[in-house]
Protein backbone atom coordinates (compact mmCIF):
# COMPACT_ATOMS: atom_id res chain seq x y z
CA UNK A 1 0.00 0.00 0.00
CA UNK A 2 1.34 3.37 -0.89
CA UNK A 3 -1.00 5.47 1.25
CA UNK A 4 -2.35 3.54 4.20
CA UNK A 5 -5.26 5.20 6.06
CA UNK A 6 -3.82 4.17 9.44
CA UNK A 7 -0.30 3.82 10.85
CA UNK A 8 0.36 2.07 14.16
CA UNK A 9 3.57 3.01 15.97
CA UNK A 10 4.92 1.31 19.10
CA UNK A 11 7.37 3.42 21.12
CA UNK A 12 8.88 5.26 18.12
CA UNK A 13 10.98 7.45 20.45
CA UNK A 14 12.39 4.62 22.58
CA UNK A 15 16.14 4.97 22.96
CA UNK A 16 16.37 8.17 20.93
CA UNK A 17 18.13 11.37 21.91
CA UNK A 18 16.18 14.63 21.87
CA UNK A 19 17.24 15.67 18.37
CA UNK A 20 16.08 12.30 17.04
CA UNK A 21 12.76 12.70 18.86
CA UNK A 22 12.38 16.03 17.05
CA UNK A 23 12.82 14.16 13.75
CA UNK A 24 10.12 11.65 14.73
CA UNK A 25 7.88 14.59 15.65
CA UNK A 26 8.42 16.12 12.20
CA UNK A 27 7.82 12.82 10.40
CA UNK A 28 4.60 12.08 12.30
CA UNK A 29 3.26 15.56 11.58
CA UNK A 30 4.13 15.16 7.90
CA UNK A 31 2.33 11.84 7.64
CA UNK A 32 -0.73 13.02 9.52
CA UNK A 33 -1.20 16.41 7.91
CA UNK A 34 0.18 16.22 4.39
CA UNK A 35 -0.63 12.59 3.62
CA UNK A 36 -3.82 12.46 5.69
CA UNK A 37 -2.79 9.37 7.63
CA UNK A 38 -4.39 8.58 11.00
CA UNK A 39 -1.71 7.58 13.49
CA UNK A 40 -2.02 5.59 16.70
CA UNK A 41 1.09 5.77 18.87
CA UNK A 42 1.94 3.81 21.99
CA UNK A 43 4.52 6.03 23.68
CA UNK A 44 5.81 6.92 27.13
CA UNK A 45 7.79 10.02 26.12
CA UNK A 46 5.32 12.69 27.10
CA UNK A 47 7.28 15.46 25.41
CA UNK A 48 6.65 13.77 22.04
CA UNK A 49 2.97 13.15 22.70
CA UNK A 50 2.50 16.68 23.98
CA UNK A 51 3.58 18.16 20.65
CA UNK A 52 1.77 15.81 18.26
CA UNK A 53 -1.26 14.22 19.91
CA UNK A 54 -4.75 15.50 19.19
CA UNK A 55 -6.21 13.02 21.65
CA UNK A 56 -4.60 10.88 24.34
CA UNK A 57 -5.87 7.66 25.86
CA UNK A 58 -4.15 6.40 29.01
CA UNK A 59 -4.30 2.81 30.17
CA UNK A 60 -3.19 1.27 33.45
CA UNK A 61 -3.11 -2.48 33.89
CA UNK A 62 -5.20 -2.98 30.75
CA UNK A 63 -7.93 -0.52 31.74
CA UNK A 64 -8.60 2.90 30.22
CA UNK A 65 -8.24 5.41 33.04
CA UNK A 66 -8.36 8.69 31.11
CA UNK A 67 -8.78 10.13 27.64
CA UNK A 68 -8.86 13.58 26.11
CA UNK A 69 -6.40 16.39 25.49
CA UNK A 70 -2.91 16.25 26.98
CA UNK A 71 -3.44 19.12 29.45
CA UNK A 72 -6.47 17.31 30.90
CA UNK A 73 -4.62 13.98 30.97
CA UNK A 74 -1.69 15.45 32.89
CA UNK A 75 -4.06 16.96 35.46
CA UNK A 76 -6.03 13.73 35.95
CA UNK A 77 -5.53 12.29 39.44
CA UNK A 78 -5.74 8.68 38.21
CA UNK A 79 -3.01 9.29 35.62
CA UNK A 80 -0.80 11.06 38.15
CA UNK A 81 -1.22 8.20 40.63
CA UNK A 82 -0.51 5.53 38.01
CA UNK A 83 2.43 7.14 36.24
CA UNK A 84 3.93 10.04 38.17
CA UNK A 85 3.38 9.80 41.93
CA UNK A 86 5.44 6.64 42.38
CA UNK A 87 8.26 7.10 39.87
CA UNK A 88 10.76 4.31 40.33
CA UNK A 89 8.34 2.12 42.28
CA UNK A 90 7.12 -1.09 40.74
CA UNK A 91 3.55 -1.00 39.58
Convert the pLDDT of each residue in 64-75 to its tens digit.
999 999 999 999
The answer, yes or no, to whether residue 21 has pLDDT greater than 70, is yes
Close Cβ partners of 64 (under 8 Å, ≥ 6 residues apart) = 57, 58
* Digit-coded pLDDT (tens) for 22-53: 999 999 998 888 888 899 999 988 889 988 99
What b/e sequence results for 41-50 when a residue is b if at least 16 CB atoms lie within 10 Å of its CB, and e otherwise?
bebebeebbe
Give phi and psi for 52, each to the nearest 5.
-120, -20
Amino acid sequence: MRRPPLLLMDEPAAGLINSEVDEIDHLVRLLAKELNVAIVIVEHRIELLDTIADRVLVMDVGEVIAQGQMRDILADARVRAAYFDNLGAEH
